[in-house]
Amino acid sequence: MGIGALKYNKKEMSKEEPGQYIVHVDMDAFYASVEMRDDPFLRDKPLIIGSLPHERGVVSTCNYEARKYGVRSGMNIKEAYRLCPKGIYRHPDFNKYRSVSQKLHEIWYSYASEAEAISLDEAYLDISEQAKDLEGARRIARAIKQRTKAEVDLTCSVGLAYSKTAAKTASEEKKPDGYFEILSPQDFVDLVKDRDVRVLYTVGVKTAEKLHEAGIHTVKDIQENTDKVISLLGKQGRWISRIAFGIDNEKVKTYHPEDAKSIGREITFQQDVDDYMFLEDVLVLLSLSVWRRLKKVGSEGNGVSLKLTYSDMQSISRSRLTEDIGSAYDIYRNAIALLRQVKQRRVRLVGVSIYNLSSHKNRQLSLFAEAETEKDEREGFEELFAYMERRYGLDFYNNLDKIFAGETLYRTIEYMRKHF
> For all residues of the chain together, what is the average pLDDT?
88
pLDDT mean over 305-323? 92
| Higher per-residue pLDDT: 255 or 406 | 255
Please say whether the beta carbons of 161 and 167 come within 8 A. yes
For the chain, which domains are there? Answer: 30-92 (3.40.1170.60), 193-244 (1.10.150.20), 257-419 (3.30.1490.100)
Tell me what pLDDT residue 399 has. Answer: 85
- The pLDDT-based confidence of 17 (bands split at 50, 70, 90) is low
Indicate which residue of 122, 181, 300, 377 is catalytic: 122
Long-range contacts of 40-46 (CB under 8 A, 24+ apart): 42/88, 45/87, 45/88, 46/71, 46/84, 46/86, 46/87, 46/88
Q: Among 170-179, 245-254, 274-283, 292-301, which stretch is predicted with the lowest mean pLDDT?
A: 292-301
pLDDT mean over 319-343? 89
What are 97-146's pLDDT values in tens digits? 989 999 999 999 999 999 999 889 999 999 999 999 999 999 999 999 99
Tell me what pLDDT residue 26 has. Answer: 97
| Higher per-residue pLDDT: 199 or 373 | 199
- Give me the percent of the chain exceeding a pLDDT of 90: 71
pTM given for the model: 0.72
pLDDT mean over 331-356? 94
406 pLDDT above the threshold of 70: no
| Higher per-residue pLDDT: 32 or 256 | 32
- The pLDDT-based confidence of 5 (bands split at 50, 70, 90) is very low
Q: Among 166-170, 251-255, 297-301, which stretch is predicted with the lowest mean pLDDT?
A: 297-301
Q: What letter represents residue 258's amino acid?
A: E
Mark whether 300 is an active-site residue.
no
Tell me what pLDDT residue 238 has. Answer: 95
Tell me what pLDDT residue 6 has. Answer: 53
Distance from C-alpha of 245 to C-alpha of 30, rounded to nearest angstrom: 31
